[in-house]
Amino acid sequence: MGAIKCAQVEQYLLEKSRITGQQIGERNYHIFYMLNKGGSADMKSKMQVTKCEDYAYIMGGQCPDLKKFNDVEEWEIVLGAMKVLNFTQEFQDDIFSIVAAVLHLGYLEFEAAEVNGQDASEISNDGPLKVASQLLKCSEDALNDGIVTRSIVTRGEVTVKPLTVDKAADVCDAFSKGIYGRCFIDIVTFITIALFKEKEPGEVRSTIGVLDIFGFECFDFNSFEQLCINYCNESLQQFFVHHIFKMEQMECVVEPPGGLVGSLYSRRGMRC
């Protein structure tokens, strides 16, 4: 007898491990494949996006295509949803620029070098670095330095130390996961603001809570991140189940003596 008045969205955990690597049969987030297959020729040219098979970050699971999932159709649905929620064109461009930048960051290659007698690394292919910096609207040199070096501040003095090839690759992965995660939070925040409406004086509302848990996986080889994801999801589920049952228990306690639940309690001494 009612209608949805508004919505409020909270995000608890983003599976960042999938952004930079997947196990066989596992996919990265769908938006990466949608952009490659559904993006307009003009957009893909501007962001220098080619095809899925060219990007290591989305080919770890070796399944760029799904039988029951049409990336082109889903891309159109995403654009339609953004239009309904009044995403500005600028915000959309920023979102897809970050998605494309992550793809290019995964294309970077590192080679060993030496700086002042210390083991160091350098990016051997400048092309993806240049495109990524343009998409992220930052200096190419700053992005390069942020990946292959680290800065340590002690007593107000900044010391820059070079990173080895392995550590630089780890920093690149961490940076990619970080910017995608921040983008995800911005999108959720924007949607919540777009959907939420303050309660009007005298208005009575009921609330429907939906807990969507996805990500509990059991692979032949489970990474530490997957263990954390599984543990977090189980803990979240237990918390919400306990919380909901607590609320139901309180409803039972305040049930009037003449009510159905109250009469059952009085006859059988039942307890929640």
Last residue of a domain, one of 154, 180, 201: 201
Same-domain check for residues 139 and 178: yes
Average pLDDT over residues 184-211: 88
Same-domain check for residues 136 and 118: yes
CA distance linking residue 255 with residue 194, whole number of Å: 37
Q: Is the pLDDT of residue 9 over 80?
A: yes
Show the domain range for 60. 17-201
pTM of the model: 0.81
Instruction: Quote the Cα angle for 47-52-53, to 5°.
Output: 125
CB 125 within 8 A of CB 166: no
Tokens of 52: 């899925």
Last residue of a domain, one of 147, 169, 201: 201
Average pLDDT over residues 23-39: 93
pLDDT of residue 178: 95
E strand or H helix at 120 = strand 118-123
pLDDT of residue 51: 94
**Residue 226 in domain:** yes
**Residue 162 in domain:** yes
Same-domain check for residues 92 and 174: yes
Same-domain check for residues 64 and 172: yes
Question: Mean of the per-residue pLDDT values for the chain?
Answer: 87
Write the pLDDT tens digit of every residue in 67-113. Answer: 899 999 999 999 999 999 999 999 999 999 999 999 999 999 999 99
Task: Using pLDDT thresholds of 50, 70 and 90, give the confidence band for residue 174.
Answer: very high
